Amino acid sequence: MSLDTVAWSQGFTLVDATEDTGNTLKGRVEFANGALCIYLDGYGDCCSAPGHGTPILLELREASPTLAVWSDIKQEDPTHIIDLNGAKEHESGN
């Protein structure tokens, strides 16, 4: 999903958490059109030009924070949609 209006953008580098291999992956986070978009170098979605697709999108849907993931670049629709309402702090019972 490619979004048009970018309010801010921040680059980052992920470091392999499983081993001390030196493996890294660069990406950026953008806030655009009311959604948080996570871009990873070399990854995208089926409908965007290379370097412009976001495989991870956090947005508000029907008053619920929702994470959409495109784990298969050949699919137009998200492969996973995760409603985060169950992660509300008051749900923990603490």
Position 91 confidence tier, pLDDT thresholds 50, 70, 90: low
In 3D space, the residue among 65, 89, 92 whose CA is nearest the CA of residue 81 turns out to be 65
What's the pLDDT score for residue 23? 94
Which residues, at least 6 apart from 91, have a Cβ–Cβ distance to it below 8 Å?
85
Task: Tell me, yes or no, if the pTM score tops 0.85.
Answer: no
The larger pLDDT score, comparing residue 21 to residue 64, is at: 64
